[in-house]
């Protein structure tokens, strides 16, 4: 097996450092984390294989069967134009999970790179970048996201972009902070005396070492992004009809809450379960990867 | 502080709180003279020269009087003909350009000042000077002059057939000239939140987002109203409005969706009233852009919509399909004009004549009317059966209206109700090529022949001639499928059984005649 | 570093932030497609009328000019006039801000009143069932969509049980108490109006619960972590050796010290709550700034949106400053280090 520790790919090297056997042992110690992980896997399965698990076409309308109660044909009932809510929840899950991963990957990648760069280069550039990030962080994020989403046009992808933009500063700050710590370590100063280029240091020394707190943040962010995206759809700035999306379904169901409580209840429950699972998983991963921050 | 002392404090606080929660709610006055209306949204402005929103008119209409008012039939139905309110009589010149009104005496504003010709002249000059939405109903170049202490003369540049009826509009409310002294632009900032009229009621309180209070105008020239206080509560949730109605906390619950109304039908103490109205829902088809610029495509779309399915499913049967632009109940409707029906074969045939189309059609709607979304979703489903690619876009109302004006859309939903009882309301606005965009012709439709017909009809004063002109127009615009004429729905309102005297007028939707209503004990 | 220095630096930062905030919001607001003049003009307005309105509102000037006119106004305390309500934005904010503040503070009270005991219990009985239960509650709290929770509690407590109202701040049939602070509960107590107080209390229970539920978890976790840290310290061991009861140790020795780092979290929570109230206010029809800003965005009411952004950013930075100052005042170690 090739020596992973000298692989040029920072991700591979970071992953290579992990003792997978011990990791599994630690995971087994925490039932909550295992539970969270299991739920995450189930949700991902259901959502990726939605066409297999769905009972109806999520967009098939039936105006004469509106707002029917949960039954054997329609597990979660039908909505205001007769579409099957259960199938829409499955397909809707695709939207929510996709947005979650999109935001975390885009914001995480760009934020980490910018932050690491800022931390490494120091000086004026660093100060300017950080002040900029501070300003963005000071704008009430929900308002900023709403305004951005409204400006870009209401759609799920624009909502995802808006959320990603607002999350970047978090990763920048995190990456920079970690970079400042790592920068002082001997192996970096050693590399510097050998006139290693900044890019080289960044790639080989900084990034692999800051990856684990970033991963922790990313996993936690998955849960909160799903919440945020559904909140945006609730206000009407996210997914558009006829696309199924959990937050949008809760919003429409609101008009029928008294007599057809299932319409809002089930999609919201889906949000709750998914976000909880990601958060439990994230908590557990943090406890394992970063014992200093552990909630013990 | 010791633990025991702390517990004593907490205990005392709990007891106080418990008592407070169960303290009897002190109502402001006795139940029988207070009418409570539950409304979904706060009014924006109460200045008659500013407001174009029926939601505001619920409050403003009873606060002001107009030269004429809509008549009421013997059996208590609202009519579309007018009789005098502030005016006791009027005459028109032979060519219809000069109208002279004699004012009745005895009418006064809430501060005691008499309503005289000077006040009428002031109100109309203010209206036209401010130049907001309400002024648009009146012909440009209209001159208003007090030709006597109690006589006003209107001089129009051209005859305007519906002129008399426009005087019953909310915008034609007569405003107390004293608002001029409230500063700013004719006192409009002050009047947006206050009242200065001669109507049966005046505004005595407005807690934004919570409630408005109307109390009788002590100087009102007519009979003192039976209801001594009207309170309009702002309750955003439809379910909450319904529950309050059932509990007896409100007497009238506005804007209840179809499902809630059906659930209330037959409930104890509640009456769901149904009136045929002249409010229509239709789809704009942007005649300016492909593929909707092709008449066969529009005909195909018109045949692909399941009208009855929408009426049965979404309206629960409380509506009727339109036949052309003029609704049933309005004179001038051409009963022989084409009415499209759900005929998928005919639709496919019409589409095949064009050779199909792959362009994406954007369909705009907003949340302003809760029925629009199901209509949009259903229409998209119907059109996909034809192979048409429709993309739905739900926008903020303001954004959507902007797109109407720039013509950047394919299909959109719309509602329309008449300001006065004349086919002009449904024809000139919808088809005149001078009104492209937000002004009324939202399908961006252009047809010179139709323009000609419209011109002739507006200056003619002969109803028979106008009926013939409008009849011909309807044949053309249905054949050319300028719009998708969906339905005309009933006005349904849920009221408590002890509310008496409500007269519904199709010209005045969302407006209640508080001054002549009463609560039976 | 002395208090004054900290304050001075922060205030300079505040100015920078406000500038940045207004630029960002102004730019974005103007990117939102739609013309507010058209919205006011009404359904059937002709282009002339729309142009009239546009000129009235100053919307026909070039963007940078509009922005500087706005800044000029802000410095003098004039945040412009709301396009939607036709009133000065500052007046709108003055009416709606206390409502949101009252809700946020009540929610914070709820979150701390429950969160602190839960966090303490979780730390004291670490790894026992209580601990696991609290951790589940905490995670559920931060994973719950607030708008969904709000709908469900409305359904239960209003729809089914009829115990609590579904929206608004106070029963509309009651006279509003004289406005002293804008906090209904406070004002009604001052006026001695028990009925109004009761009604205001009933109306705030559900929204405060919904809003606070999320932060309950955050507070509990923070307290748990801080308590665990404290309980390991030497002075605790000393106290135990001296025979102090467990109860006394936890509440009179460890907890006060654990609260110090928690102050930061509470401060952040308040900031979060302020603009997190947006969703809750929408669901409960609470006439506060959250509902105001959502309506304003939908109505393309730029002055209102900017006013809201400036005020909340200001509040956020000031809260952070206050928290830091309190932290410095309470913990002498920080003062020394700074």
High-pLDDT (> 90) share of chain B, %: 53
Interchain contact, C285 vs B236, CB within 8 Å: yes
| Token pair belonging to B269 | 């103490």
High-pLDDT (> 70) share of chain C, %: 91
- C15 and A CB contact within 8 Å: no
Mean pLDDT of B390-402: 82
Closest in C44, C87, C202 to B133, CB measured: C44
Give yes or no for a contact between A272 and B403, defined as CB atoms under 8 angstroms apart: no
Whether pLDDT at C337 is above 70: no
Whether pLDDT at B5 is above 60: no
Interchain contact, C145 vs A227, CB within 8 Å: yes
Q: CA of A151: which chain B residue's CA is closest? A: B399
Whether pLDDT at A117 is above 70: yes
Interchain contact, A234 vs C279, CB within 8 Å: yes
Shortest alpha-carbon distance between residue B121 and chain C (Å): 21
- C171 and B CB contact within 8 Å: yes
Q: What pLDDT, on a 0 to 100 scale, did the predictor assign at position B25?
A: 40
Q: Which of C278, C305, C307 is nearest to C30 (CA)?
A: C305
Whether pLDDT at C218 is above 60: yes
Please work out, in degrees rounded to the nearest 5, the angle formed at the alpha carbon of residue B271 by the alpha carbons of B269 and B276.
175
Hey, which residues 52-91 in chain C have their CB within 8 Å of chain A?
Answer: none
Whether pLDDT at A196 is above 80: no
CB pairs under 8 A between B and C: 156
Q: CA of C299: which chain B residue's CA is closest? A: B398
Q: CA of A276: which chain C residue's CA is closest? A: C143
Interchain contact, A258 vs B367, CB within 8 Å: no
Q: What pLDDT, on a 0 to 100 scale, did the predictor assign at position C225?
A: 81
Residue A18 banded pLDDT, cuts 50, 70, 90: low
Interchain contact, B53 vs C42, CB within 8 Å: yes
Q: CA of B400: which chain A residue's CA is closest? A: A153
Instruction: Quote the mean pLDDT of chain C.
Output: 79
| Token pair belonging to C45 | 């307005």
Q: What is the pLDDT of residues C113-151, one digit of tens each?
A: 998 888 888 888 887 888 888 888 888 888 888 889 988
Q: Please state the φ and ψ torsions of residue B290, each to the nearest 5 degrees.
A: -70, 150
Whether pLDDT at A292 is above 60: no
Q: What pLDDT, on a 0 to 100 scale, did the predictor assign at position C336?
A: 52
| Numbers of helices and strands, H then E, in chain B | 15, 21
Q: What pLDDT, on a 0 to 100 scale, did the predictor assign at position B341?
A: 92
Q: What is the pLDDT of residues B43-98, one digit of tens each?
A: 888 999 988 888 899 999 999 999 999 999 888 888 888 999 999 999 999 888 99
Distance CA B172, CA B195 (A): 15
Give yes or no for a contact between A79 and A244, defined as CB atoms under 8 angstroms apart: no
Q: What is the pLDDT of residues C247-295, one digit of tens each?
A: 777 777 777 777 777 777 777 777 777 766 888 888 888 888 888 888 8
Closest in B26, B50, B231 to C172, CB measured: B231
Mean pLDDT of B286-303: 91
Half-sphere exposure of B117 (CA within 13 A, CB side): 16
Interchain contact, B237 vs C285, CB within 8 Å: yes
Q: Higher confidence at residue C237 or residue B327?
A: B327
Q: What pLDDT, on a 0 to 100 scale, did the predictor assign at position B379?
A: 94
| Token pair belonging to B4 | 């025991």
Give yes or no for a contact between C246 and C231, defined as CB atoms under 8 angstroms apart: no
Q: CA of C150: which chain A residue's CA is closest? A: A254
Burial class (CB within 10 angstroms; exposed 0-12, middle 13-18, buried 19+) of A190: exposed
C-interface mutation test, from B30, B36, B53, B236, most C Cβ less than 10 A away:
B236
Closest in B210, B243, B402 to C168, CB measured: B210
Please work out, in degrees rounded to the nearest 5, the angle formed at the alpha carbon of residue A132 by the alpha carbons of A131 and A135.
85
Mean pLDDT of C29-47: 68
Q: What is the pLDDT of residues A51-76, one digit of tens each?
A: 988 899 988 888 888 889 999 989 99
Half-sphere exposure of B376 (CA within 13 A, CB side): 28
Burial class (CB within 10 angstroms; exposed 0-12, middle 13-18, buried 19+) of C264: middle
Interchain contact, B438 vs C199, CB within 8 Å: no
Interchain contact, C39 vs B19, CB within 8 Å: no
Hey, which residues 19-48 in chain C have their CB within 8 Å of chain A?
Answer: 20-21, 24-25, 28-29, 31-33
B-interface mutation test, from C41, C80, C284, most B Cβ less than 10 A away:
C41
Q: What pLDDT, on a 0 to 100 scale, did the predictor assign at position C332?
A: 65
- C231 and B CB contact within 8 Å: no
Closest in A258, A271, A278 to C145, CB measured: A271
Q: What is the pLDDT of residues B6-51, one digit of tens each?
A: 545 554 455 555 444 444 343 334 455 899 999 988 888 899 998 8
Taking phi over 0 as left and psi of -120 to 50 as alpha, with beta for the rest, B517 belongs to: beta
What are A84's strand-pairing partners?
Answer: A78
Instruction: Return the SS3 of A133.
Output: helix
- B380 and A CB contact within 8 Å: yes
Task: Show residues of chain B in contact with A252, CB under 8 Å.
Answer: 373
Residue A296 banded pLDDT, cuts 50, 70, 90: very low
Q: What pLDDT, on a 0 to 100 scale, did the predictor assign at position C192?
A: 82
Q: What is the pLDDT of residues A140-191, one digit of tens each?
A: 677 778 777 777 777 888 889 989 988 899 899 888 888 887 777 777 777 7
Whether pLDDT at B245 is above 50: yes
Q: What pLDDT, on a 0 to 100 scale, did the predictor assign at position C44?
A: 59
| Token pair belonging to B503 | 């007269």
Distance CA C291, CA C302 (A): 15
Helix (H) or strand (E) holding B385: helix B372-385
CA B55 to chain centre: 8
Mean pLDDT of C72-98: 80
Interchain contact, C17 vs A144, CB within 8 Å: no
Whether pLDDT at B509 is above 60: yes
Instruction: Quote the mean pLDDT of chain B.
Output: 87
Q: Check residue B436 and report its DSSP letter.
A: B
Task: Show residues of chain C in contact with A34, CB under 8 Å.
Answer: none
Mean pLDDT of C104-116: 89
Q: What is the pTM of this model?
A: 0.80
What are B495's strand-pairing partners?
Answer: B252, B271
């Amino acid at each position: 097996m090739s020596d992973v520790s000298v692989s040029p790919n920072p991700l591979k090297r970071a992953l290579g450092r992990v003792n997978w056997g011990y990791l599994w042992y630690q995971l087994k110690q925490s039932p909550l984390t295992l539970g969270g992980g299991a739920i995450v896997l189930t949700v991902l399965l259901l959502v990726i294989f939605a066409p297999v698990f769905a009972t109806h076409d999520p967009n098939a309308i039936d105006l004469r069967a509106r707002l029917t109660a949960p039954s054997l044909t329609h597990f979660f009932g039908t909505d205001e134009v007769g579409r099957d809510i259960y199938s829409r929840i499955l397909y809707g899950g695709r939207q929510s999970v996709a947005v979650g991963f999109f935001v975390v990957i885009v914001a995480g990648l760009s934020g980490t790179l910018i932050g690491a760069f800022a931390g490494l280069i120091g000086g004026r550039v660093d100060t300017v970048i950080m002040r900029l990030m501070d300003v963005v962080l000071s704008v009430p994020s929900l308002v900023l996201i709403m305004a951005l989403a409204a400006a870009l046009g209401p759609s799920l992808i624009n909502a995802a972009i808006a959320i990603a933009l607002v999350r970047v500063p978090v990763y920048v700050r995190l990456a920079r902070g970690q970079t400042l710590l790592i920068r002082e370590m001997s192996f970096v100063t050693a590399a510097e005396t050998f006139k290693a280029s900044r890019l080289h240091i960044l790639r080989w020394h900084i990034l692999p070492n800051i990856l684990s707190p970033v991963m922790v943040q990313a996993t936690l962010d998955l849960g909160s992004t799903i919440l945020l995206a559904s909140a945006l759809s609730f206000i009407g700035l996210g997914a558009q009809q006829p696309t199924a999306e959990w937050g949008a379904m809760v919003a429409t169901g609101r008009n029928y809450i008294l007599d057809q409580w299932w319409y809002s209840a089930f999609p919201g429950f889906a949000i709750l379960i998914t976000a909880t699972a990601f958060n439990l998983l994230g908590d557990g991963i943090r406890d394992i990867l970063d014992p200093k921050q552990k909630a013990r | 502080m010791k633990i025991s002392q702390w517990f004593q404090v907490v205990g005392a606080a709990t007891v106080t709180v418990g008592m407070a929660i169960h303290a009897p709610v002190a109502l402001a006055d006795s139940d029988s003279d207070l009418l409570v209306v539950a409304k979904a949204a706060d009014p924006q402005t109460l200045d008659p020269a500013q407001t174009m929103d029926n939601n505001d008119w619920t409050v403003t209409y009873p606060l002001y009087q107009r030269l004429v008012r809509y008549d009421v039939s013997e059996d208590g139905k609202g009519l579309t003909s007018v009789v005098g309110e502030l005016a006791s009589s009027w005459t028109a010149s032979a060519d219809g350009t000069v109208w002279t009104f004699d004012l009745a005496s005895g009418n006064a504003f809430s501060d005691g000042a008499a309503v005289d010709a000077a006040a009428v002249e002031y109100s109309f000059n203010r209206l036209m000077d401010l130049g907001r939405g309400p002024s648009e109903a009146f012909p440009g170049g209209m001159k208003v002059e007090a030709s006597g202490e109690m006589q006003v003369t209107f001089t129009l540049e051209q005859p305007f057939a519906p002129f008399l009826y426009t005087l019953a509009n909310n915008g034609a409310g007569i405003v107390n000239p004293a608002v001029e002294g409230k500063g700013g632009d004719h006192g409009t900032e002050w009047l947006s939140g206050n009242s200065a009229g001669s109507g049966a009621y005046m505004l005595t309180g407005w807690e934004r987002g919570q409630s408005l209070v109307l109390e009788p105008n002590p100087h009102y020239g007519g009979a003192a109203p039976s209801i001594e206080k009207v309170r309009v509560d702002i309750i955003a949730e439809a379910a909450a409005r319904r529950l309050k109605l059932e509990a007896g906390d409100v007497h009238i619950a506005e804007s209840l969706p179809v499902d809630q109304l059906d659930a209330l039908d037959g409930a104890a103490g509640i009456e769901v009233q149904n009136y045929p109205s002249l409010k229509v829902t239709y789809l704009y088809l942007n005649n300016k852009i492909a593929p909707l610029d092709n008449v066969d495509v529009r005909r195909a779309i018109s045949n692909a919509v399941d009208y009855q399915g929408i009426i049965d499913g979404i309206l629960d049967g409380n509506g009727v399909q339109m036949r052309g632009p003029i609704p049933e109940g309005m004179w001038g409707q051409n009963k022989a004009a084409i009415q499209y029906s759900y005929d998928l074969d005919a639709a496919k045939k019409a589409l095949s004549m064009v050779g199909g189309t792959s362009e994406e059609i954007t369909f705009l709607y907003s949340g302003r009317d809760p029925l629009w979304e199901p209509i949009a979703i259903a229409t998209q489903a119907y059109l996909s059966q034809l192979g048409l690619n429709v993309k739905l876009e739900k926008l903020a109302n303001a954004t959507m209206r902007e797109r109407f004006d720039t013509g950047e859309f394919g299909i959109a939903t719309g509602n329309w109700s008449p300001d006065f009882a004349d086919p002009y309301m449904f024809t000139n606005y919808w088809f005149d090529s001078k009104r492209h965009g937000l002004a009324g012709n939202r399908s961006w439709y252009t047809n010179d022949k139709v323009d000609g017909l419209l011109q002739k009809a507006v200056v003619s004063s002969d109803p028979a001639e106008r009926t013939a002109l409008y009849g011909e127009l309807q044949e053309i615009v249905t054949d050319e499928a300028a719009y998708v004429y969906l339905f005309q729905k009933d006005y349904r309102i849920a009221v408590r059984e002890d509310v008496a005297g409500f007269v519904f007028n199709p010209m005045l939707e969302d407006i209640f005649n508080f001054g002549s209503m009463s609560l039976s004990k | 570093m002395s208090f004054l220095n900290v304050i001075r630096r922060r205030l300079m930062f505040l100015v920078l932030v406000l500038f940045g905030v207004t630029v960002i919001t102004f730019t974005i607001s103007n990117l939102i497609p739609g013309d507010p003049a058209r919205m006011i003009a009404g359904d059937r307005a002709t282009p002339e009328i729309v142009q009239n309105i546009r000129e009235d509102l100053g919307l026909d000037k070039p963007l940078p000019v509009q922005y500087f006119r706005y800044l000029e106004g802000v410095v003098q305390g004039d945040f412009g006039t709301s396009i939607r309500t036709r009133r000065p934005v500052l007046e709108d904010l003055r009416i709606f801000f206390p409502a949101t503040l009252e809700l946020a503070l009540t929610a914070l009270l709820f979150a701390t009143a429950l969160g602190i005991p839960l966090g303490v219990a979780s730390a004291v009985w670490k790894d026992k069932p209580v601990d696991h239960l609290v951790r589940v509650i905490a995670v559920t709290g931060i994973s719950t969509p607030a708008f969904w929770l709000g709908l469900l509690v409305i359904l239960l407590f209003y729809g089914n049980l009829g115990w609590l109202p579904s929206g608004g701040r106070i029963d509309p049939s009651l006279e509003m108490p004289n406005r002293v602070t804008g906090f209904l509960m406070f004002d009604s107590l001052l006026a001695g109006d028990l009925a109004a107080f009761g009604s205001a209390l009933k109306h705030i229970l559900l929204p405060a619960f919904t809003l606070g539920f999320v932060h309950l978890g955050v507070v509990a976790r923070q307290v748990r972590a801080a308590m665990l840290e404290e309980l390991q310290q030497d002075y605790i061991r000393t106290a135990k050796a001296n025979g102090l009861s467990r109860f006394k140790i936890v509440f009179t020795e460890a907890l006060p010290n654990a609260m110090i780092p928690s102050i930061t979290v509470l401060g952040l929570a308040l900031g979060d709550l302020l603009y997190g109230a947006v969703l809750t206010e929408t669901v409960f029809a609470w006439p506060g700034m959250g509902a105001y800003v959502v309506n304003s965005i939908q109505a393309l009411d730029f002055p209102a949106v900017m006013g809201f952004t400036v005020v909340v950013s200001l509040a956020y930075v000031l809260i952070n400053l206050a928290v830091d100052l309190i932290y410095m005042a309470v913990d002498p170690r920080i003062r020394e280090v700074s």
